[in-house]
Structure 1
Amino acid sequence: MGKLVVLIMGYFILIEIIITTSLATMKHDYGEALSKSILFFEGQRSGKLPSSQRLLWRQDSALRDGFQLVNKKQIDLVGGYYDAGDNVKFNFPMAFSTTMLAWSVIEFREFMGPDLQPALEAIQWATDYFLKCTSVPGVVYAQVGEGQADHNCWERPEDMDTPRTVFAVNTTSPGSEVSGEIAAALAASSMALRASNRTYAARLLSRSRTVFNFADTYRGSYNDSLGLWVCSFYCDYSGYQDELIWAATWIYRASKLPFYSNYVLNNFQKLEPPYSGGSFAEFGWDTKHAGINVLISKMNMDRRSQFIDKADNFVCSVLPESPTNIVSYSPGGLMFKAGGSNMQHSTALSFLLIVHARFSSRTKRLINCGNVAIKPSRLLQLARQQVDYILGDNPLNMSYMVGYGKKYPQKIHHRGSSLPSTRDHPQKIQCSQGSSYFFSSDPNPNVLVGAVVGGPDIKDEYKDSRADFVHSEPTTYINAPLVGLLAFFKGHSN
């Protein structure tokens, strides 16, 4: 009997050790963070909000977009997303965010559980809008709203009275980067949505091919025709070749039509000059090089070994122990690259690390960075470090996701969040009247749950200030790749 008691006690001790170890391993509730990262997109919605809207402090906005075109032709451009804390619809970064949302679902669908449906709805909110933006042959609508006028006002989207000017590219004033990214978003989204709505997915894929053909046939940058309106905000610095190849890659993956794989193989050399320097290591709304190489590495395409080599070079550019590292790290371990809104780099690059780690693990390969051999698990470790930093494992013990954890940014640079909702303040707040809310020392009255801000500086310091927009403004292209990261770590918490 004594031995039995010892065995039973030993059994419970073993169970306690297992539970304690699991809890220690699972530092954060990635499931909660995933749900909130998707909810954020509801706070960025433009247009007529659905009855399922969960962030109830947001209401309908910009319901006349496209109906007052100067050429007297009206087109419905209602919908889509505001990209950040402003009220302009910039279609170039919006399309990239959509592509990354779709890639998150394609890659990590199995780990999303009940968050899959809201993720699909977030994707379709964008694709419904992009179908409108590409409905006129030979035209792609690239932006709605004037950035300068919008940024001179601190207004709720529900009150907007700044110009909702529509900007487009066409056969004589092309924009291959914005058109190519929209084509990529439509193709990737067709894959993400295929299981739930095959007819709609087929429509997206067909439209993506049409838009790609337009982008490729009428080549040119929207900087040249729309630079006055886009270049203070989302100027294209890397050229449009990467968007064309990115789009062709996604269309090939969605359609398996050899025309698009041949296009990639016949044109990818154009990615090199004059952007050959560190472009293989860049990925974001402007530059797609690293994403192209990681995506093709896992696809069944001819000559993919050269893409795998470049994807490995990208990994080596990120890992701090690599002799070819070109990424900086804060003392607390956060990735830093040049450019504002730094969290966009942390999430987008970490997303690629996870995808390439899974490919390398399946193919049982190491990544050689000079004389340093890297196991796939090291890539997962670094990506998780970035995610955990965002969620609160940092020198300030602060979550940079609004609404997650006990301590998070209270005064984010976001118009709708910082102004009282129309439910609490039904009277219109004029352009100049919003300034008092902008300069207020009070926390934002509306919690934009799931929003991830630009983040701390390279010294791990963060000033919770609306005026410090580089660090306090959330964006869709920070959150979109984070959705995939959180889904993966939710599925691999232990």
Structure 2
Amino acid sequence: MEVEKKQYRVLAIPRFLQQWCTLIFIFTIFSTARAFDYNEALTKSLLYFESQRSGRLPYNQRVTWRDHSGLTDGLEQGVDLVGGYYDAGDHVKFGLPMAFTVTMLSWGVIEYGEQIAGAGEYEHALEAIKWGTDYFVKAHTNPNVLWAEVGDGDTDHYCWQRPEDMTTSRQAYKIDQNDPGSDLAGETAAAMAAASIVFRKTNPHYSHLLLHHAQQLFEFSDKYRGKYDSSVGVVKSYYASVSGYKDELLWAALWLYKATDREDYLKYVINKAHCFGGIGWAMTEFSWDVKYAGVQIIASKLLLEEKHKEHSHILEQYRSKAEHYICSCLNKNNESNVDRTPGGLLYVRQWNNMQYVSTAAFLLTIYSDYLQSSGQKLKCHGGVVRHQEILNFAKSQVDYILGSNPMDMSYLVGYGSKYPKSVHHRGASIVSYRENKGFIGCTQGYDNWYGRRELNPNLLVGALVGGPDCLDNFRDDRGNYMQTEACTYNTAPLVGVFAKLHQLGGQNLNHDPTLISTY
């Protein structure tokens, strides 16, 4: 009876009011696809890397609440390890995530350098890359020696200090032929090879230097095989190599092929395709640990070049696995799809989920370009997908990050009117060293700064935090490190995507209402 009454009331509304309500409803749906300033997001994302700098800061440092730190790194071991990046909210320099960060920054510039330049951020992007590669050159002290880590995660986590005040251990750890680390050496080789492509025109001497190190590191990683966390045990609680090292060996070889055009690197990727899992593993994530999806997408793109026809059989198998990843993100596989939150965000893990979102957005954008340039479509179990739909979905993930989500919050710090202001980050949560040079001790930081209710005194602009849970809920509390800690490898993949979307003007590419999230 109640239902009948409601139906009658609707029918009783005058026709002009029904039309007006319909117009309002349509407008409401399409207004959810907000216009975002991707140029601003790009600018701020590159600022974040300046916040994470270790070492002696340059004269043109723009993030002014930071100062010099870690100036004696490597001193005990008799090697100069000053520089590089802190990976997150603490002060350990972890080699594997740092190298992946640099690889992704470099890949973004290789693919979207013109767009980054068009947005006025090219020099800043190159500076972000070079801050990492300068450190890798120092850390690679011998053809078969690479310094893997500076600092100790356990002692570091006992303290809450600014990097400028550090009193924690700065013990340095290395890999060598007796204690190998093929995953770490392979990823560092990939980073330096990719960066060598970036600097080829603007700084050819530096490009050659990076390529020389990359080739030595690849040879080291392939000749002396082993997981780096077996050699550097202190890293296991923080960046354990769960996927092993075979994906990094394929990854490094592919980047060296792109950097040198040498056939032996390509043959490595072809000949090892099966035994190293390159055409065996169908992945639903891409991260600092698991490189297979990236390998498969780069290998797919080689199919477009005439000279690779003799390897097309293997490259097609790489492409099949690449498409499994893309289809899983689009929720168009029969099984093994990536979960989504009710608000439409890709959801892989509870801890720092945004890292998987940013890498997915990048790979989706890359693959959309590949399909567009080759005039092809993606065939998933759930149907045929055009390149526009893939790019539009990548854009939806970026837009969620920037504020189009149930919390109406930007997860890129400093962007928009509402964003996390209690980020789990030692330097950002304590008064700036430049404002107050008084020493803040290990426990003093916990007592006076970590637990305080006030917002962070320093803004970690451009940081992409861990993000919401599986139901789109987010709690802005610096103690909630699963959601409020940011990492360099979260933001790095977005640099190229922001530039691409800025160039496109942010339009909704296929205006398909079915692609608009409802929540």
Structure 2 residue aligned with 1:457: 469
Matches of 1:242 and 1:277 in 2, distance apart? 10
Among 59, 84, 90, the residue aligned to 2:88: 84
Q: Any conservation in 1 of the 2:39–2:498 contact (CA below 8 Å)?
A: yes
The one-character-per-residue Cα deviations of 1:240-285 (angstroms, maximum 9, x if unpaired) are 0000010000000010011100111111212339x9564x333110
- Aligned match of 1:292: 295
Q: TM-score normalised to the size of structure 2?
A: 0.88
Deviates more, 1:133-142 or 1:121-130: 133-142
**What secondary structure does 2:477 align onto?**
coil
Task: Determine whether 1:256 maps to 2:261.
Answer: yes
| 1:492 maps to which of 495, 498, 504 | 504
Aligned AA (1:423):
R
Matches within 5 A, 1:273-352: 276=280, 278=282, 280-299=283-302, 300=305, 301=308, 302-303=311-312, 304-338=315-349, 340-352=351-363
Name the counterpart of 2:487. 475
Aligned residues of 1:316 and 1:324 also touching (Cα < 8 A): no
Contact 1:293 1:307 in 2 (8 A): yes
* Partner of residue 270, structure 2: 265
Shift of 1:313: 1.3
1:170 to 163, 176, 180: 176
Moved over 6 A (4+): 22-26
Deviations 1:206-257 (A, max 9, x none): 1100010001000001121212x00100000001000001000000001001
Match of 1:51 in 2: 59
Is there any run of 5+ residues in structure 1 with no aligned partner, and where? 1-21
Describe the superposition over 1:280-313 as per-residue Cα deviations: whole angstroms up to 9, x where unpaired.
3331100000000111111244222222221111
CA distance in 1, matches of 2:213, 2:350: 33
Which residue in 2 is equivalent to 1:12? none
Kept in 2, the 8 Å contact 1:82–1:90? The answer is: yes
| 1:316–1:325 contact (8 Å) kept in structure 2 | no
Asked if structure 2 preserves the Cα contact closer than 8 Å seen for 1:318 and 1:325, the reply is no
1:344-368 deviation line (CA, Å, top 9, x unaligned): 0000011101101110111111111
User: How far is 1:34 from its partner?
Assistant: 0.2
Aligned position for 2:97 = 93
RMSD: 1.6
Q: 2: distance between equivalents of 1:437 and 1:39? A: 24
Q: Deviation at 1:92?
A: 0.3
Is the 2:193–2:256 contact (alpha carbons within 8 Å) kept by the matching residues of 1?
A: yes
Report if aligned partners of 2:332, 2:381 keep a CA contact under 8 Å in 1.
no
Are residue 235 (structure 1) and residue 243 (structure 2) matched? no
1-side partners of 2:230 and 2:287: how far apart? 21
Identity %: 44
- Whole-angstrom distance in 2 between the partners of 1:239 and 1:464: 34
Paired position in structure 1 for 2:381:
370
User: SS state of the match for residue 232, structure 1?
Assistant: helix
Q: What's the CA shift string for 1:13-65, capped at 9, x where partnerless?
A: xxxxxxxxx99977100000000001100000000000010000000000010
Deviations 1:50-82 (A, max 9, x none): 00100000000000101112xxxx111100000
* Stretch of structure 1 that moved more, 371-380 or 438-447: 371-380
Residue 10 of structure 1: aligned partner:
none
Alpha-carbon distance in structure 1 between the residues aligned to 2:490 and 2:54:
18
The residue that corresponds to 1:210 in the other structure is 216
What is the distance in 2 between the residues matched to 1:371 and 1:416?
47
Q: Secondary structure at the match of 1:142?
A: strand
Q: Does 1:32 align with 2:21?
A: no
Give distance in 2, aligned partners of 1:23 and 1:332.
15
* Count of aligned pairs between the two proteins: 466
1:399 equivalent to 2:417? Answer no
The aligned amino acid for 2:487 is T
Contact 2:66 2:434 survives alignment (8 Å): no
AA matched with 1:122:
A
Q: 1:125 aligns with which of 122, 131, 150?
A: 131
Superimposed CA distance per residue, residues 404-431 of structure 1 (whole angstroms, 9 cap, x where no aligned partner): 1001001000000001011222101000
Displacement after TM superposition at 1:321 (Å): 4.0
Output the amino acid matched with 2:292.
H
8 Å contact 2:284–2:328 — kept in the other structure?
yes
1:152 equivalent to 2:153? Answer: no
Using the alignment, how far apart are the partners of 1:272 and 1:186 within structure 2?
A: 24
Does the CA contact (< 8 Å) of 2:32 and 2:404 recur in 1? no
The yes-or-no answer on 1:75 pairing with 2:87 is no
Opposite residue 309 of structure 1, the aligned amino acid is: S
| Structure-to-structure mapping, 1:346-361, within 5 angstroms | 346-361=357-372
Q: 1:172 is matched by which residue type in structure 2?
A: N
Give the aligned partner of residue 8 of structure 1: none
Runs (5+) with no aligned partner, structure 2: 1-29, 508-519
- Asked if the contact 1:319/1:325 (under 8 Å) is kept, the reply is no
| Residues 1:326 and 1:215: Cα distance change in structure 2 (over 3 Å) | same
Corresponding residue number in structure 1 for 2:227: 221
Describe the SS at the equivalent of 1:433.
helix
- Of the three residues 117, 138, 143, the one matched with 1:137 is 143
Q: Is the 8 A contact 1:322 1:372 kept in 2?
A: no
Q: TM-score, normalised by structure 1?
A: 0.92
Over 3 Å counting, the alpha-carbon distance change for 1:92 and 1:339 in structure 2 is: farther
Distance 1:422 1:288 in 2: 38
